[in-house]
Amino acid sequence: NIIFNGPLNAVLGGTVMFTTTLTPSEKPFTTIGWTFGSRIVVTFSGGNVIAPDYTSRITLSMSTGSLELRNLTLNDRGEYRVSLQPQGDIAKNGSTRLEVYERLSGALVTSSTNLLIEGNSVNLTCDAAAGSGFTRQWKKDDSDLIPTDNVTLYSNNRVLSFKSLNKKDSGGYSCKISNPVSNIEATFITVVNYGPENVQITGPSEIHFEQTLKLTCSAESEPSATYTWTLNGTEIHNSSVFTKVITEISDSGNYTCQAMNHITERISSAVHHLTVTGTKMVSAGCIAGAVIACLIVCAAAAGGGYYIYKEK
């Protein structure tokens, strides 16, 4: 007949109460005996006898037989038994287990590398600075982490291992460390560097000369790529948008945009062919301003000469 609560989890240095299910009675107990493993903790048989190493750590309730144990150490873990004999009744026995846990502190997730690059492998390791008897649980961006062929957990969830990082693996990885008396959590934010990939040039492939040309280059990249433009092999510009306010016939050709990621040290490029058409163009302003003499100098690269257009 079990007569008290358990099993019990308590904090290192803390206090635990072994509570019997007996209601306080007017009749005193004839005998009380508490043992821990094979050692006596306290006995009562007309008078208390407390084992020397428990004298300052226990309080025995004479009305219920419950026992309070204080200043718990890891050595207090184990099986506790009680035998109570109410006056004029048979002895009642009970037992329970006590577990003592150190309170957790100092959760930390560390990465095996400072720089996370797509395709590389990395391990995230979760540890507590102090605490005992704990388990670990991982989440990614607040949802339970589901292991895959590429993402695996080792060593009782201590290590979260990525075989080959993918850009989709970027996010917040939190590790919750728990034992029955406490839980702590640490989060590691991963930013997977990747690219440049999918380099694209947008803009016209044909333009009339003297019009404004604008070519825009883009790439998927973390961190953002830097861009270099070349025209027919000659470097002409150094940012994502290339603009030529007044195009010339000689602006025809193959525009190459090279995107570079200085972290992944990868380079990727795209080519765009542009044809500049026409020989000359009269601007609308000149036609409208018929009274005013208007000069337009047209550089016609194809012909190699200059045309002077005069209007009165």
Ligand X SMILES: *[C@@H]1O[C@H](CO)[C@@H](O)[C@H](O)[C@H]1NC(C)=O
Binding interface with ligand X (CB under 6 A):
15, 70-71, 112, 121-123, 154, 159, 161
In the complex, least distance from residue 117 CB atom to ligand X, rounded to whole angstroms: 12
Task: Using the minimum distance from each CB to ligand X, give the nearer residue, 72 or 84.
Answer: 72
* Strand (E) or helix (H) holding 284: helix 284-288
CA distance 184 to 175: 8
Task: Using the minimum distance from each CB to ligand X, give the nearer residue, 130 or 290.
Answer: 130
In the complex, least distance from residue 252 CB atom to ligand X, rounded to whole angstroms: 50
Rg (CA), the chain: 41
The b/e string for 130-144 (b: 16+ C-beta within 10 A; e otherwise) is ebebbebbbbbeeee
Task: Using the minimum distance from each CB to ligand X, give the nearer residue, 71 or 283.
Answer: 71
In the complex, least distance from residue 121 CB atom to ligand X, rounded to whole angstroms: 4
Task: Using the minimum distance from each CB to ligand X, give the nearer residue, 112 or 183.
Answer: 112
Please, which residues have CB within 8 angstroms of residue 252's CB and are 6 or more apart in sequence? 274, 275, 276
Q: Nearest to residue 309, comparing CAs of 290, 274, 282, 277?
A: 282
In the complex, least distance from residue 14 CB atom to ligand X, rounded to whole angstroms: 7
Number of H helices, E strands in the chain: 1, 27
In the complex, least distance from residue 192 CB atom to ligand X, rounded to whole angstroms: 14
- The secondary structure of 153-208 as a DSSP string is EETTTTEEEESS--GGG-EEEEEEEEETTEEEEEEEEE--BEEEEEEEEES-SEEE
Q: Nearest to residue 181, comparing CAs of 13, 9, 6, 5?
A: 9
In the complex, least distance from residue 44 CB atom to ligand X, rounded to whole angstroms: 23
Task: Using the minimum distance from each CB to ligand X, give the nearer residue, 123 or 178.
Answer: 123
Written as one letter, the residue type at 168 is K
User: In whole angstroms, what separates CA 110 from the centre of its chain?
Assistant: 11
In the complex, least distance from residue 162 CB atom to ligand X, rounded to whole angstroms: 8
Task: Using the minimum distance from each CB to ligand X, give the nearer residue, 70 or 103.
Answer: 70
Task: Using the minimum distance from each CB to ligand X, give the nearer residue, 1 or 55.
Answer: 55
